[in-house]
Amino acid sequence: MRLSLRSLSLAFALAGLALSATAQTAPEVVRVRILDRQAPSRISVEADGPLFVSVDGADAGASLGGTPLYLTANGAQARAEFGGADLSGREIRLTGDRLRVRASGVDRVYAGALVAYTEGGQLRVVNHTPTEPYVASVVASEFGFNAIEGAKAQAVLARTYAARRVGKNFHYDLDDHTGSQVFHGVDAASDVSRRAAHET
């Protein structure tokens, strides 16, 4: 599929406006609510290496690499089960390298941290992800072509939109679907989308 000169020109013009407006204010981390449309009741999380767990801000141990941790809702609290531990709290935070999430037919890898809580008795999970891997993933999902200049324009738009959404909700800034920007984790990024994020 070829992009028309007009559509590329429009994308560049919009990207230029967005870049001049917010390039200096892009956050280092964005909070993306994941799996909202799937609404899973149980989520499996693994990491490459230890998966560190904190409950309501206090260290609560770690799950060893390759051993899954399970998140569920426990009434008004989030619940984490791993290695014989069964912990509940208002907020459960998971950190580790390459956080692999499986639930409701979804299998994705995220960077940064995952924060679980409940809302209306339903489990919610937010990925606190570095902005640049987020942008690269969004570009690959929403632009999807190998044209680097078009990918750069999309990267500027994605970063600008993310910057403008910071702080709009208490727990999260963005959703992982078309209600915000499509984000399927770090493994969804391509070489072109990573280059576009880096070069912008």
DSSP states along 29-94: EEEEEESTTT--SEEEEE-SS-EEEEETTEEEEEEPTT--EEEEEETTEEEEEETTEEEEES-EEE
Distance, in Å, from the CA atom of 92 to the CA atom of 125, rounded to the nearest integer, reads 9
For residue 1, the model assigns a pLDDT of 42
Gyration radius from the chain CA atoms: 18
pLDDT (0 to 100) of residue 25: 62
pTM here?
Answer: 0.85
Give the model's pLDDT for residue 66. Answer: 74
- DSSP secondary structure letter of residue 150: H
What pLDDT was estimated at residue 10?
47
d(CA 123, CA 110): 18
Q: Per-residue pLDDT for the chain (200 aa), expressed as one digit of tens each?
A: 444 444 444 454 454 544 444 444 678 999 999 999 999 999 999 999 999 999 999 999 998 877 899 999 999 999 999 988 999 999 999 999 999 999 989 999 999 999 999 999 999 999 999 999 999 999 999 998 999 999 999 999 999 999 999 988 899 999 999 999 999 999 999 999 999 999 99
What local confidence, expressed as pLDDT, does residue 155 receive?
96
Q: Find all residues with CB under 8 Å of 30, minimum gap 6, and list them.
A: 128, 129, 131, 134, 162, 165, 166, 173, 174
Return phi, psi of residue 76, to 5°: -90, 5
